[in-house]
Structure 1
C-alpha cells in the first residue's frame, strides 16, 4: 500500500485487520532513501512522498528490496472527486490510472506523450470490480472509473472542464497513482488505486474540504477490502 504522506498511511494502518495469533508482530523497516515501511502480516504500507516522481521512486525502492515478490501494489490516500460521480466522503476505485497532464500543449490542443510517440499515459488496474463490490457491500458509497494523476492539483472550473473533456468518466484526481503504476509495471506487479474523496475537483475552496471524513472513509475501506482476493 503506497500513500503520499504519513497521515494517509496511518489511516490505512488503522483500517488493516490485526495480524493473526501466529503471525509476526507489526514491524517498521527502514529502507534506503529515508523511507519507512510499516509491515502488518502480509501487508506493507509506505508513505513515499507527494507527486508522481516521489511515488515512483519510493515504490520502486520497496519492490526492488522485497524479500518475497509482492502480488499487488495499491496506490491510495485522499484525493479530489469529480462531481456528481464521486461526492465528498465516497471512495473511488480506479479502473484505469491515467497521467492526465503528461504531454505537450500544441496549436491543436493538448497531446499526450503517447500521441507524441514517447510512451504510455495509462495503466489498467487489477481487482477493481471485486474491491468496489466489497466496499459497497460494506455500506461505503463507491464509484469506479479512471483516476487521473496530475502534477498540479486542479483549482479552477476551467481546468476541471478540460480534464473531464479529455477524460470522460474520470472519477477522481490525485498526484501519485501513475508513478506507483509505472514502478509496479517495471517489476511486473499488478496495480490498483483507491482514493477517499476529500474535495470536489474544481475551484479551490479549502473551507469546503472534508479531510477528516475522507480519512474516516479510507480507514473503513481498508477494513472492508477482500484481502483473500488481493493476497
Structure 2
C-alpha cells in the first residue's frame, strides 16, 4: 500500500507532540476509535496511548489493526530514567533490547521472568543494524531498556535491576507492551528514551522533564536518515 511509515508510540501527549515537532511542520491530527489521538507527519505517525505496558500494548495493537499494512517499524518513545554510569540525565538511549523487567515470579532462588516461566517472551530485540545506526545518529548509549509496571523509587531497587540486567541503560513503562503488539504484527520494533532523571530515589526537584522533551525532539530530527538506511537495506 505504498511507502511504509514509522509508527511512534508514546505514553502521554507531551511526548507525542515532542516527536512530531521534529518535522518542523504542523502534523495532521486524527482521532481513532477508542479516543486515541494520532498525529501524522512526514514519514511517521505518532500516537499517545496511556501509561504502562497494558495501555501500550492495547493502544499499539489498535492502531496496527486499523493501519492495513501502513507501517514497517514501530518505535516506543518517551522520556524515562537512566541508569547511572550508562545514561546520564540529558542522554538519548536507544534500545538493544526491550525487556519486561518485573513481569514474572519471585521465589526462593530469586526472580524468574515470564520467559523463564514459559509464558511468553520477556525480551524483544530490534534489528541490530537499525539500533546501532539510531544510536550513532543521536549520539547516545545503546543498551537494554527495561519496562516496569512500577517506576523505581529506591537505590536498592535500582541496584537490583542493574545487577539482574547488566548494561541496562534506561527504564520506562511502555516499551515491552509496544513490542508485544508490534511483534504480533510481524513488525520491527525499537525504543528511544531521553533521560529526565536517574533511576533510583524519587527526587522530583532534580527531574529535567522539559529538557528531556526537547531532547526527544532533537533526537527524532536526527533519526530520519537511520530509518531510511534501514529501509533501503531491508526492502531494497
Fold equivalence (TM over 0.5): yes
Deviation, 1:230, is 5.0
- Give the distance between the partners of 2:85 and 2:161, measured in 1 at CA: 15
- Give the distance between the partners of 2:210 and 2:196, measured in 1 at CA: 8
Alignment partner of 1:10 out of 14, 17, 39: 17
**Correspondence for 1:194:** 192
**Correspondence for 2:42:** 41
**Correspondence for 2:234:** none
Counting only pairs closer than 5 Å after superposition, residues 39-188 of structure 1 correspond to structure 2 as 39-126=40-127, 127-136=130-139, 142-188=140-186
Alignment partner of 2:217 out of 199, 216, 219: 219
Task: Kindly provide the CA deviation profile for residues 158-185 of structure 1, in whole angstroms up to 9, marking residues without a partner as x.
Answer: 1001101110100000000000000000
- Give the distance between the partners of 1:74 and 1:220, measured in 2 at CA: 16
- Give the distance between the partners of 2:133 and 2:72, measured in 1 at CA: 16
How many pairs are equivalent?
220
8 Å CA contact retained: 2:23, 2:42: no
Deviation, 1:94, is 0.2
- Give the distance between the partners of 2:207 and 2:88, measured in 1 at CA: 11
4+ residue runs of structure 1 moved beyond 3 angstroms?
none
Which structure 2 residue ranges, 5 or more long, are not aligned?
1-7, 232-236
8 Å CA contact retained: 2:90, 2:196: yes
Task: Kindly provide the CA deviation profile for residues 37-84 of structure 1, in whole angstroms up to 9, marking residues without a partner as x.
Answer: 111133110001100000001100110101433110000000000011
TM-score, scaled to structure 2: 0.90
Deviation, 1:107, is 1.2
Which structure 1 residue ranges, 5 or more long, are not aligned?
19-24, 137-141
* 2:211 aligned with 1:204: no
Deviates more, 1:6-15 or 1:170-179: 6-15
8 Å CA contact retained: 2:12, 2:50: yes
**Correspondence for 1:139:** none
TM-score, scaled to structure 1: 0.92
